[in-house]
Amino acid sequence: MPTFFLNGKELEFKQGETIIEVAQRAGIEIPHFCWHPSLSVSGNCRICLVEVEKAPKGMIACATQATDGMVVHSDSPKAVHMRNAVMEFLLINHPLDCPICDEAGECKLQDYAYKYSIGKSRFDETKNHKDKRIELGPNVMFDQERCISCSRCIRFCEEVAGDPQLTFVSRGEHVTIETFPGKQLDNPYAMNVIELCPVGALTSRDFRFRARVWDMSRTESICTGCARGCNMDIWARNNEIMRLTPRENMDVNQYWMCDHGRLDTFKYVNDEATRVNSPMMRSDDISIDNDGLTSCDWDDAVSRVLSELKNYKADEIAFIASPFSTLEDNFVLKRFANEIVGTKNIVYIPLIEGKDDKLLLRADKTPNAAGLRYLGIKPIDTKFINKFLRKEFKMLYMINDSLGRLEKTDEIAKAIEVGILHLSNFGEQSKKATVIFPSSTYAEINGTFVNFQNRIQRIRPAVASLEQERLPGEFAVSRLDKFGAQNDSWTKGTRFNARPVWKVISQMAKVLGNDFGYENTEEVFDDIASKVPEFYGMNYESIGTQGSLIGQTEKVTV
């Protein structure tokens, strides 16, 4: 394999690779604005200029292919001088508004200005002013003055999203970005340009001015918006989720995340108006608000459920698992149904909407349908529904889902005598329940999901509910930990009186004389790994931050 030398280090490369690609693989940083590994090369920012021996001038590392025997310097005095000149040029018209810029703390221009700039400008003229606060689309705001014309956003829309909506207009110092006439930046992946933008020119209209990056904690998790399970970071402040951003995983979502996942999968976690904030139990007094539901303590709710269970035969009790819940929750629910109640009447409700798109979004909007099938839990069918309608099922036990997603919902609800629900938020059908347990959301617990690729992935708690579990050594850190900061959203206490589903069900099993023996979620998963063949040998450590493919020859199709 051919080699070349970079800063005195011999590096192997494949034919056609550029200097910056080889450097990145070797862990050597060459500063860049316009280059991105998944986009075409534009070569218009020039900050990646390097010194190539025997070349008459500096070469841009993003567009210069490596050749056998080439000698390159990215930190020589000549290379540093070229970089200083480029930075001085880029900062001529750039506004000095870091204190109010949403990108402050995670801005490449800010970082490079500290690292590579000479610290002063020879430009004494008035800066060229441009328009600010331009609404490019429903979710993205544009500040023309901050733009350095790297063209990342333009190339992303055309090459990745497949919808060219942005272009350069004008020339020279007047150049800026606009949408094509009659268009908005509204493709399903438009908000990815916010992370792609190396400066603060493109910002989120939803997150804008809500928090500073150094005031937030960052927790690695996955998106629960569809069956792909895009890797993401949850950013929280004062125990409230502020935003979600994509996390690189080349096997799942590459660098991207859809706008639906960013905006529609976390706000219910913060919604104090709809969150179930205490156990609730139906009273015979119909004058009570909430259709007869009244708050109670946990022990009373558990006692009521156990007393109701004794009133029905095993075949009269139906369990509905949730493809929106973790493997751990569903596994413990199945154990309870099989071992405690003595029934195999357990199913889940699928959710298929539209078609898969060409990039990430799946028609299957459930994050864990594949995981339920590994656990042996099947989708609900007509036969199961008819048992409700014929009143063969008289008691329903359901976790983190709604009968409202079924046809003939009202008829089913009327046929049920007793309904036990684990819910994080109230829904249309929930207030008809007999007992409601407040359930922790995916952002408040540990657990695992299996995506449509049969990849098992972890979620971790980013905000705290009252009964909070935190595994040893687990913490959320600020992106600014390189500056010594380690902010933690957990220090602000809790807002919601919620518990993980597996913990409540385990408590009921223990009261009934069958102690499952779980102290934390990791122990639940260890039990899964010991009993479900596809998960043999797995644990939270082996799953890691990028997930792990399940070792099975016959794949599960979702």
Q: Calculate mean pLDDT across residues 237-258.
A: 96
Q: What is the DSSP-derived secondary structure letter of residue 129?
A: P
pLDDT, tens only, 165-178: 999 999 888 899 99
Phi/psi for 312 (5° steps) reads -130, 150
> What DSSP line would sit under 201-259, residue for residue?
SEEETTTTTS--GGGSEEEEEE--SSTT--EEEEEEETTEEEEEEE--BTTTTBT---H
Please, which pLDDT band fits residue 479 given cuts at 50, 70 and 90?
very low
> Per mean pLDDT, which range of 11-20, 33-42, 287-296, 526-535 is the poorest?
287-296
**Distance in angstroms (rounded) separating the CA atoms of residues 366 and 228:** 9
Flag whether pLDDT at 425 surpasses 90: yes
Predicted local confidence at residue 283, as pLDDT: 79
Q: Calculate mean pLDDT across residues 341-361.
A: 95
Pairing mode, if any, of strands 435-438 and 447-450? Answer: unpaired
Query: What are the structural domains, with CATH classification, of the chain?
Result: 3-90 (3.10.20.740), 280-448+499-542 (3.40.50.740)
- CA 193 to mean position of chain CA atoms: 16
Q: Calculate mean pLDDT across residues 317-325.
A: 97
> Per mean pLDDT, which range of 14-23, 121-130, 147-156 is the poorest?
121-130
Q: Calculate mean pLDDT across residues 455-476.
A: 74
- Go through 432-456 and write b for each residue having 16 or more CB atoms within 10 A of its CB, e for each that does not: bbbbbbbbbbbbbbbbbbbbbbbbb
Q: Calculate mean pLDDT across residues 529-533.
A: 96
Q: Calculate mean pLDDT across residues 230-249.
A: 96
Predicted local confidence at residue 474, as pLDDT: 54
Flag whether pLDDT at 289 surpasses 70: no
**Which amino acid, residue 482?**
K
Please, which pLDDT band fits residue 493 given cuts at 50, 70 and 90?
low
Predicted local confidence at residue 428, as pLDDT: 79
Reported pTM = 0.91
Predicted local confidence at residue 261, as pLDDT: 96
